[in-house]
Chain A
């Protein structure tokens, strides 16, 4: 049983050693001459303006989260679309349509909830 794992273990060990090694090695031998310019955050070569750690309105996060949620649900449309024609061919067109209808309705419930909750309003 052990034998089967040996390559994996060796490989994992090497990976870890390599990673650690290069980190340690570079911090050991790399020259350290920090200057103000070097330490400044990189912003497309332009002069940095203000702190990069500025706080954003929470609205950005909420909108982004909602976007991700609804966006990712769209992934289920693809497999559905792939088999859609097969179902029609088999005479199950209404069924497959209704299935997706149910899915959309559920999403829609979520959407209405979010909407009524006021999460989409910017102000």
Chain B
């Protein structure tokens, strides 16, 4: 029934090989792009079939290992190239191939005329292949193969515009931080493998086997270490504190890359990994707490920075970091299904946002280029009033923004609200819950604010672009707009499959399909929580409603602030000036509310944001990363001098070595 799943990663691999080896010879952009997109479309088709097959099975027969061939086998150790098909990987498959396909289509238009067009599609297909390996691999090692592969592609694609120095630096930074993470991951694999084998004689790295023996980890003191090192891997890949600064820099890559790799898929790998190994995490309360705290802190922290950015892609980048923080928060409070759900909805609306911003940048770039202006095409201060020029882009962008802001009825609301509720009501962290919830809620407020600030600055108000360039602004071609529309549609309807319980009951017993679908994967964690929860989560329905209302209110407040600050000042004065001259002064001065807001909220917030960005981000985090590098390089330089080139020095080193070795054995 699942015999053909190996086709899913195979298609992008074929696409990669064709484009990578013959792309230069093919030259024709349509053919190259067509091959790239078609490969992913084929994968998507097979993935859909797989999903239907899974759904058609009874709930408890939905986990399948599909071996392809034995990869490494020696004695007790075995790692197969085998795929794990279960509800979780199905969800990820749909996201990777579905969103991936749309982004491939979009890229055909976006990358039109770029040098090395074939290279771009080859990398993109290689990325899809690696990502599919990551989500489908049925053991840690195969997952690691994908894990490394996606990192590599990300690195190559960030540095795609290698003529720019900043792009190369950004690629290097991403690489270094990812290596730190990968080191953690590999260490986790080794420790896990060794511990289980040493103590229980079960030498395995296969997920289903590990899950089967999950209860053996009970009371394993090393489990906290194991899960923490895995989490280090996740922080690197998924850009969490403290390894997040590469992601904003990664925006140097082409926008489709930002959408696919640095928003929708690769950066969520850490979340997926924790979800995949939920049965280990749930048994390590300390790790759970760390994950939740880091996630919550990142969500809030990145959101504050987002408010102070003027580069449209950087806002979205910090927003991504922040939303990833939500996902980790969900993982950390044991709401695995909610985290994965947010992963999915986020993929929809964030991909839409990135692609929309790409369309804007594309259009801006052409317009500026046309009149030889050197203004920054990504700076929102140069934009404004694009609503009329690019109505379709605006529409889709607005829908996605509403979705991320958490307005009821849109996808982001369902997933985010579920996470906030779980952060408040979960039985794992006791009194810490309030803090976690507060983190999330504050971040939600800021999210609504900066996203609408972005919309208002970009699409509303006066057009601040050089007048000459104004007429060259135009809507993007259909190949770019089509993916936007599909993604915007998904940003609306995507949420309804995961309706929160109380809302579903209100609407006549609509179940949370998503959670039910994923239930088999998280079964152990559910049971474990039920058995071990210190305080059973008896929270009243009223409280849940109240919090839901509160979070909606928060979202509207955020939007309101943005509206007042970035729209109102331009519209209100015009209406009132002539009619009420006395009032005019006050209105002209925006009721002095701006000043008040500036004083009370915006200035401190901006200052904090700026401080965190310029101070902490650039100086501290980068400083540490670069510092470690310099120390190692310095050490390397010193060691080099031992290599003096003189034979007698070398002979001396050998003699010394021999003498020390012999002396050590004699005198010990």
Q: How far is the CA of A1 from the CA of B666 in the complex (A)?
A: 7
Identify which of residues 630-668 in chain B touch chain A, using a CB-to-CB cut-off of 8 Å.
666-667
Whether a CB of chain B sits under 8 angstroms from the CB of A2 is: yes
Interface string of A30-56 (1 = CB under 8 A from B): 000000000000000000000000000
Whether a CB of chain B sits under 8 angstroms from the CB of A5 is: yes
Closest to A4 in B: B666
**Which size class do A's interface residues fall under?**
under 10
Residues of B contacting A5 in the complex (Cβ-Cβ under 8 angstroms): 666
Residues of A contacting B667 in the complex (Cβ-Cβ under 8 angstroms): 2
**Which size class do B's interface residues fall under?**
under 10
Residues of B contacting A1 in the complex (Cβ-Cβ under 8 angstroms): 666
Interface string of B49-63 (1 = CB under 8 A from A): 000000000000000
Q: How far is the CA of A17 from the CA of B667 in the complex (A)?
A: 22
Identify which of residues 1-25 in chain A touch chain B, using a CB-to-CB cut-off of 8 Å.
1-2, 5
Residues of A contacting B666 in the complex (Cβ-Cβ under 8 angstroms): 1-2, 5
Q: How far is the CA of A97 from the CA of B530 in the complex (A)?
A: 90
Closest to B662 in A: A5
Q: How far is the CA of A62 from the CA of B667 in the complex (A)?
A: 48
Closest to B665 in A: A1
Q: How far is the CA of A58 from the CA of B666 in the complex (A)?
A: 48
Q: How far is the CA of A2 from the CA of B663 in the complex (A)?
A: 10
Say how far A16's CB is from chain B's closest CB, in angstroms.
13
Say how far B661's CB is from chain A's closest CB, in angstroms.
14
Q: How far is the CA of A5 from the CA of B668 in the complex (A)?
A: 13
Say how far B337's CB is from chain A's closest CB, in angstroms.
64
Say how far A100's CB is from chain B's closest CB, in angstroms.
39
Say how far A109's CB is from chain B's closest CB, in angstroms.
33
Q: How far is the CA of A1 from the CA of B668 in the complex (A)?
A: 9
Say how far A101's CB is from chain B's closest CB, in angstroms.
42
Q: How far is the CA of A5 from the CA of B666 in the complex (A)?
A: 8
Closest to B668 in A: A1
Say how far A51's CB is from chain B's closest CB, in angstroms.
28
Q: How far is the CA of A59 from the CA of B667 in the complex (A)?
A: 52
Residues of B contacting A2 in the complex (Cβ-Cβ under 8 angstroms): 666-667
Say how far A6's CB is from chain B's closest CB, in angstroms.
10
Say how far B648's CB is from chain A's closest CB, in angstroms.
19
Closest to B667 in A: A2
Say how far A12's CB is from chain B's closest CB, in angstroms.
11
Q: How far is the CA of A74 from the CA of B667 in the complex (A)?
A: 45
Q: How far is the CA of A32 from the CA of B512 in the complex (A)?
A: 105
B residues adjacent to A (C-beta < 8 A): 666-667
Listed from nearest, the 4 A-B pairs whose CB atoms lie closest are: A5-B666, A2-B666, A2-B667, A1-B666
- Pull 4 A–B residue pairs with CB atoms less than 8 Å apart, ordered by A: A1-B666, A2-B666, A2-B667, A5-B666
